Amino acid sequence: MARYTLCVTPHDQYAARQAVRESRVAALQRRSNRLSAVRLSLGALALAMAWMAWYAHWFTPAWIALPVLAFAAAVAAHVLAEHRLAHASRQVDFYRRGLARLEERWAGTGNRGTLFEDDQHLYASDLDVFGEGSLFELLCAARTPMGARKLADWLLAPADLAEIQRRHREIADLAPRLDQRERIASVAVDGTAAANPRALLEWSRERNDLEHPAVRWLAAGLPAALLAALICAFSLGLWAPAIALILLEWGTLYRFRAAIGRINTAVTGAYDAGGLRTLAELLRHIEHEAFDSPSLRTLQGTLSANGRPASAALNRLAWIASVAEASLGSTFVRWFLNVPLLLPLQTARSVERWRRDHAPHVEGWLEATARFEALSSIAQYRHEHPDDPFPELLATPTFEAYGLGHPLLPENRCVRNDLALSKATPVVLVSGSNMSGKSTLLRAVGLNVVLAMAGAPVRARTLRLSIMTVGASIRVSDSLREGQSRFYAEILRLRRILSIPETGTPLLFLLDELLQGTNSNDRRIGAEGLLRTLIGLGSLGLATTHDLALTEMPGLAGRARNVHFGETIEAGQMHFDFTLREGVATRSNGLELMRALGLRV
């Protein structure tokens, strides 16, 4: 594949391509409108000529064939134009969505990943991994449910070092391939659009019931014999053999009705024909790309079976599924074709032949599709944020960031800070007043670790870190339904966080306003004991507080570093610069904030 050098910004690139495709949409729309007018005119002409021929007797009815044929050609041309118009419109939408992301207008417009939300997860809700304006919504470009699920899985758990390095190479290969992402985004999402991959996988593992040689001979022989009998009936007037064969065919369908119904209903329930064609088209774009990454070429090599591309095999299954749908749902097919052609039996046997030849490969195809879509989602982010680097991965417990920013904040509002955690100084205590940026810092750290552990670029100038998982206690609240206070809910969360290092997984903890639901004395003693325990387990992390008593813990001397956020007050207005400073915060803005809101204190 020819590589390009990025000499323009992604925004300029998207805007230029969108303008070209919008021009094509306008031209195709004009063509569609003209063809629609031609269809209408030819239809009216055909009706007028029919009246002239049959009622006015101006000419022979054979002349009506001319406008009818012209009308059919106009219909075909109009359908093709509409198809091309829809394809071009999807291309415009691809760049429109890209510009919305680059212009920070993307929140609420994409896949929010609500299916993957889990309130019990140890960081997903705290860090806005899913939901409106979430990390998942920013990243996800998957067209299939398995691709979205794969991306969600990557964001919910860290990969190992070798897998992350593999993803780096694959994403670096995919990031410049804008044309391929445009082609994939332009694929029509038809029918259920591969809405039930689990059902397809389960269907592919079912046993075949119609492989007995007798069934094969009946399926092939009875329709052929009926055709011969019908020829004999029309030529010699002998209808008894044809009637007998039709009855025999009806009996054959009745004998195997249970197996036929189970097979045909299963394939149409697993995927409809439109969904299969969508999946096949996605796979075709993967199969035909010339990748540089060896692992991507290996993934590409899994998309075949018995010398046939997966896309071709799935297109054939889509055709079989469409026939099965017709045999089940079309009145004409049920009354006039099902029995003479043994159509339900033919489709069921075609399904079983397909399953026999391709079933062992279906799981690999779905997995390859899911992985490619997850990689392509991150590659799109990489392309749109060329200044965001891949992190450097280390063996020893470390988190060392320079110019760290929040990935979900607009660049013009994102204040970057430096932060370091290591075995020597495993804890950073962040003090500061309300709204000064403490929680935002925790989320910035957590989301960048999530990105790093998924193999994605990070929002920092440089980031060096070890493999770790995040445990967060930021967005913890009471639960009336479960009878839990905020403090009790926090204790339960902290107990689960403490269990992470016991599994052997290094932990990065993010604790916001630690133990704020209890009195100051218990809070100080509990916080110090908890942090000592976490340090003893080899964990790194941050804890925020506006209780300055927590910044002086004798038991953490030499192991914890104090930093703070500050603010200035000018003419009664508070101003925050969200810049991290060394030491403990020296002032609080609680009273000023209450007075600014009109409370007499």
User: What confidence score (pLDDT) does residue 1 get?
Assistant: 43
Confidence of residue 517 (pLDDT cuts 50, 70, 90): low
Confidence of residue 525 (pLDDT cuts 50, 70, 90): confident
Least confident of 7-11, 145-149, 364-368, 383-387: 7-11
Contacts of 563 (CB under 8 A, 6+ apart): 428, 429, 430, 431, 580, 581, 582, 583
Residues 429 and 512 in one domain: yes
Each residue's pLDDT tens digit, 462-512: 999 999 999 999 877 655 444 456 777 778 888 888 888 877 788 999 998
Confidence of residue 235 (pLDDT cuts 50, 70, 90): confident
Position 94 in a domain: yes
Each residue's pLDDT tens digit, 438-453: 899 999 999 999 999 9
Q: CB–CB of 455/171 below 8 Å?
A: yes
Contacts of 45 (CB under 8 A, 6+ apart): 67
Position 224 in a domain: no
Position 323 in a domain: yes
Mean pLDDT across the chain, nearest whole number? 83
- Cα 45 to Cα 39: distance, rounded to the nearest angstrom: 10
DSSP state of 382: H
Does the pLDDT at position 384 exceed 60? yes
User: What confidence score (pLDDT) does residue 298 get?
Assistant: 93
And the tokens for 44? 């009216």
Q: CB–CB of 110/139 below 8 Å?
A: no
And the tokens for 246? 């039709």
User: What confidence score (pLDDT) does residue 374 get?
Assistant: 96
Domain boundary among 70, 103, 136: 103
Confidence of residue 269 (pLDDT cuts 50, 70, 90): low
Position 425 in a domain: yes
Contacts of 58 (CB under 8 A, 6+ apart): 52
Residues 24 and 78 in one domain: yes
Residues 371 and 306 in one domain: yes
Residues 325 and 417 in one domain: no
Domain boundary among 103, 126, 151: 103
Each residue's pLDDT tens digit, 97-140: 999 999 999 999 889 999 999 888 999 999 999 999 999 999 99
Identify the sign of the CA torsion 6, 8, 14, 18: negative
- Give me the phi and psi of 183, to 5 degrees please: -65, -45
Least confident of 102-111, 156-165, 207-216, 422-431: 207-216
Residues 332 and 453 in one domain: no
Residues 554 and 467 in one domain: yes
- Cα 447 to Cα 470: distance, rounded to the nearest angstrom: 9
User: What confidence score (pLDDT) does residue 570 get?
Assistant: 64
And the tokens for 440? 């935002």
Kindly tell me the burial class for residue 193, based on how many C-beta atoms sit within 10 Å of its own C-beta (0-12, 13-18, 19 or more).
buried
Position 235 in a domain: no
Farthest-apart Cα atoms in the chain, separation: 110
For 1-61, give the DSSP string.
-------S-HHHHHHHHHHHHHHHHHHHHHHHHHHHHHHHHHHHHHHHHHHHHHTS-SS-G
Residues 341 and 483 in one domain: no
Kindly tell me the burial class for residue 276, based on how many C-beta atoms sit within 10 Å of its own C-beta (0-12, 13-18, 19 or more).
buried
Q: Which residue has the higher pLDDT, 213 or 493?
A: 493
Position 251 in a domain: no
- Cα 527 to Cα 90: distance, rounded to the nearest angstrom: 54
User: What confidence score (pLDDT) does residue 252 get?
Assistant: 76
State the residue range of the domain holding 487.
Answer: 392-596
User: What confidence score (pLDDT) does residue 193 get?
Assistant: 46
Q: CB–CB of 339/249 below 8 Å?
A: yes
Each residue's pLDDT tens digit, 57-105: 776 777 778 888 888 898 899 999 999 999 999 999 999 999 999 999 9
- Cα 117 to Cα 152: distance, rounded to the nearest angstrom: 9
Position 128 in a domain: no
Residues 283 and 424 in one domain: no
User: What confidence score (pLDDT) does residue 214 get?
Assistant: 65
Residues 284 and 402 in one domain: no
Contacts of 169 (CB under 8 A, 6+ apart): 293, 295
Complete edge-to-edge strand list for the sheet that includes strand 507-511: 469-473, 507-511, 540-545, 427-431, 560-564, 581-582
Each residue's pLDDT tens digit, 545-573: 876 666 666 657 778 888 888 776 665 56
Domain boundary among 340, 360, 384: 384
Residues 298 and 204 in one domain: yes
User: What confidence score (pLDDT) does residue 5 get?
Assistant: 47
Residues 418 and 492 in one domain: yes
The structural domain count of the chain equals 3
And the tokens for 587? 């002032």
Residues 421 and 367 in one domain: no
Q: Dihedral through CA 94, CA 77, CA 333, CA 323, nearest 10?
A: -40
Mean pLDDT of 511-531: 79
Does the pLDDT at position 372 exceed 80? yes
Does the pLDDT at position 291 exceed 90? yes
Mean pLDDT of 245-255: 78
Position 145 in a domain: no
Q: Which residue has the higher pLDDT, 406 or 208?
A: 406
User: What confidence score (pLDDT) does residue 407 get?
Assistant: 95
CATH number for the domain harbouring residue 504: 3.40.50.300
Least confident of 80-89, 147-156, 164-173, 521-530: 521-530
User: What confidence score (pLDDT) does residue 529 get?
Assistant: 85
